[in-house]
Amino acid sequence: MPFDAANLLPIVPEIVILVTACLVLVLDLYLSDRHKDLNHSLTLIGLLVALGLTGVVGGGEPQVVFDGNVIRDSITDLLRGAILIVSLLAFVYARPWLKDRDLFVGEFYVLGLFAVLGMLIMVSANNFLVIYLGLELQALSLYALVAFDRDSKKGAEAAMKYFVLGALGSGMLLYGVSMIYGATGSIEFGPVAQSVAEQGMDNQVLVFGVVFLVIGVGFKLGAVPFHMWVPDIYEGAPTPAVIMLGSAPKIAALALAVRMLIDGLQGIHADWQGMLLILAVLSMGLGNLVAIAQTNIKRMLAYSTISHVGFVLLGLLAGSAQGYAAATFYAIVYAVMAVGAFGILLIMSRKGFDVEHLDDLKGLNDRDSWYAAMMALMMFSMAGVPPTVGFIAKLLVLESVVRIDMVWLAVVAVIFSIIGAFYYLRVVKVIYFDKPAPDQPALVTSGGVRFAMSINGLSLLLLGVFPATLLAWCQAAFS
């Protein structure tokens, strides 16, 4: 079959990210230490161009290209844009930290860009194999990012744990995909959905395939009981790696669940709904309860991530267009909150000292009242306090659960949210009411970082007051 160049148009943003990564990789060989800033500038330009092209090639009817392997539809456009924006913020926040520690190397940008490329491939995949390739590209890049500080023993240990458990999750997912292929005779989502609708759960191979698939998705989202890697990796990895790991990949993991469960296995929703229900309740419960006991801020945010994953799963298990839209809204909003929170930790760190404990945040308001206000906004939004967007996100998910007559589940979610508010408000208390240690040096920041953080923080307030546009995009993706 002759190659049609028109196939390339829907994946232009992915091509731009790939070209940028290759350019940075080659240029870095010839750049002196004084000119390493070019890597950073080139990366940001590549992400901005890809973001602009996402808007240009997006919209209109869905396009299926490359013999049905790749799709560009409204879900692709929305999640692609969200991943690029969050990744852009992550790279901006990481730069002062990397420069301060003499780790301002091209490898960080190359690995980060390849991770972003993997996420974009996951978002636009139209069969199980392509989504798995995207997932592995993202995962392999993140494994290396976690270990990129060669002098850090904690980083090496975290990377090892992440690699072993990540490989286990990927293996489960691949095993599930192979069983689904055996049961349906296809790896494309359309034919699989058709075959599943006809067979139901009469086929034992299909039953096992779905179970392994849900386990794989649970691993990648970090849902309980597949969450073991999350707190250890967040604590051990360098903070720039954590910011790359804890924000945009959550949107990609949502894309993984949407493509596999909704596009491929919607016909047996009643069967995977029960599995997601258990994962959601366990994640919200364990995440919020264990986070209270943490004194390490990175571990606390890791358990907070697990609890937020529970809320995303609530939207998915609702099985309605409204529930899917609410889950998507929540995942995007969470990524924006997470990138901001870890961004503040990067700004407060300095050479020889990383912000790791709650006490390290003491008196941030006395040192820089603007960053303190931004961190407070992140915490209020994560806790779901109005008028921040976190409140709207939780409300939408709870509404979608109530609509399917699972009021008890909504009540459980509200109870765990109230418990969770405690540890978020404790951070705000430490920032505003505790005194900083004497002789604290100035924060490691720049005008660009301050501008990005201001947009990041204020967007949570703005989206909370005016959520209609983002919500309309999420609803249009599933209408």
222 CB contacts (<8 Å, ≥6 apart)? 229, 230, 305, 306, 309
Q: Evaluate whether residue 50 is within a structural domain.
A: yes
pTM above 0.85, yes or no: yes
Across the range 157-161, mean pLDDT stands at 90
The DSSP secondary structure of 149-179, one letter per residue, reads -TT-HHHHHHHHHHHHHHHHHHHHHHHHHHH
Q: How confident is the model at residue 3 (pLDDT cuts 50, 70, 90)?
A: low
- Report the pLDDT value the prediction gives residue 2, as an integer from 0 to 100: 64
- Separation of alpha carbons 101 and 94, rounded Å: 11
Q: What is the mean pLDDT of residues 419-441?
A: 85
pLDDT in tens, 168-216: 999 999 999 999 888 888 888 888 888 888 877 777 888 888 889 999 8
Among the listed ranges 126-135, 207-216, 281-290, 444-453, which one has the minimum average pLDDT value?
444-453
| 29-33, 284-288, 457-461: segment of lowest average pLDDT | 29-33
* Residue 123 belongs to a domain: yes
Q: Is residue 2 part of a domain?
A: no
In this prediction, residues 102-114 reach a mean pLDDT of: 87
Cβ-count burial of 164 within 10 angstroms (0-12 exposed, 13-18 middle, 19+ buried)? Answer: exposed
- Measured in degrees and rounded to the nearest 5, phi and psi for residue 296 equal -85, 120
Q: Are 94 and 346 in contact (CB under 8 A)?
A: yes
Tokens standing for residue 400? 């979608």
Could you give the number of structural domains in the chain? 1
Looking at the domain assignment, is residue 3 inside a domain? no
- Tokens 């509404």: give the residue: 399
Task: Choose between 353 and 293: higher pLDDT.
Answer: 293
| 170 domain-assigned | yes
Does residue 356 form part of some domain? Answer: yes
The pLDDT value given to residue 268: 80
The per-residue pLDDT for range 322-363, each reduced to its tens digit, is 999 999 999 999 999 999 999 999 888 877 778 888 888 888
Domain that holds residue 44: 8-478
At 364 the pLDDT is 84
Detail the DSSP E strand segments found in 50-146.
63-65, 70-72
pLDDT tens digits, 57-107? 877 788 888 888 888 888 999 999 999 999 999 999 988 888 888 787 888
Q: Is residue 140 part of a domain?
A: yes
- Domain membership of residue 1 (yes or no) is no
